[in-house]
Structure formats: structure tokens, C-alpha cells
Amino acid sequence: MLRNPWLKTPVDASHLNAATNLVNNLQSALPDLPNLTKEDKQSCIKVGDSQSMFMENIKDICVQRPNIMPAWHDLADYQSRVASLENLMGIQTQIMALIDEIDNALIGAKHDVMVYSLDYYHSLKRAKQSGMPGLNKLYERVRDHFKYSTGLSPEEQYPAINSGGTSEDPGAVTDGNTVE
């Protein structure tokens, strides 16, 4: 039996337009962010978890002992840079969580469309084999394009998926999202 779609509500042009407007609003709400070149990025110190802890420790000590700040640095400027870093990381965390949700939705949506595409492909193949005129080139085009891009035919890539003409989704048994 065919599984319910992963996306409960279809994503249409109004969703795309709303998301585009929100991204544009977000970009305009942020200050001008630098556009680093490859060379700029190579010249920057790479900061991982251990370096982040070092910077966090220095920030804490600086609050306790601001008089130790080197004379060529300004405490207010340092604190502003730390706040910028923390706020950018907060923005990135929220955006990355959204990107992760979108990535998950894309995986499900691609699966759904691939199941339909494979069903249609097998129907096209059966119709061609039954002698329906005008289908050879269409069938060969999709089969050959698939084989060119993956190295395998759809039957070789997905041998258990709907090659027998059923409309059973291979994910229906294990994904907990089955229509009964």
C-alpha cells in the first residue's frame, strides 16, 4: 500500500515567496556582513572547540581583570567583538536548525517523488512492452539518462521497488507513516 506523503501540507509558491521575503528581511535586519575571499579565509585563524574554550576563558578573566588588557586594545571594542561573535553564533544556530528541518523535508519529498517516478517508469515500461506505439524513445530516454547518471538502470538500482507493478512503497513497512 502507498504510504502517506512525508510532507503533510504541500509546499507551494506562496510558501516559497514567504520564505524568500523572510530571508530578505533577515538579511536587511543584519548589519553588513563581510564577504571573505578564499585568501581572506586562509589568512584567518581557524577556531575550533578548544580555541573557543580558550576565548571563553579569556573573556571571563577579562571581565574580572580588565586592567590587564594590552594598551593597544580597547576593552569596549573587545567586548563588542565578543558580543558580535556570540550573537552571530546564536543566529547561525537558529538558521542551522531550520536548515536541518528543511533538509529532512527534502529527503522525504525526494523519496516520495522518486517512488512516484519509479511507479511511472515501470508503467511506461509495461506499456511499451505491450506494444503501445510511440513509447520506445520516451522509455529509452529516461532509462538511459538514469543509467548514465548512476551507472545502473532503475531496475538494477532499485530491484525491489515496484518492478512487479504493485503500488507498494518500500518504505511503508518501517517508517510508521503507512496508509491502511
Cell reading at 132: 503501445
- Helix/strand/coil for 43: helix
Cβ atoms of 86 and 52 within 8 Å: the answer is no
| Neighbouring residues of 123: CB distance < 8 A, sequence distance ≥ 6 | 165
Cell reading at 94: 537558529
The predicted pLDDT at position 43 comes to 96
Model confidence at 100: pLDDT above 70: yes
Cβ atoms of 161 and 172 within 8 Å: the answer is no
Q: What is the pLDDT of residues 76-88, one digit of tens each?
A: 899 999 999 999 9
Model confidence at 111: pLDDT above 80: yes
| Cα angle: 14, vertex 17, 19; to 5 degrees | 110
Where does the pLDDT of residue 178 fall: very low under 50, low under 70, confident under 90, or very high at 90 and above? very low
Percent of the chain scoring above 70 in pLDDT: 87
Residue 83 CA to residue 107 CA, distance in Å, equals 36
The predicted pLDDT at position 167 comes to 46
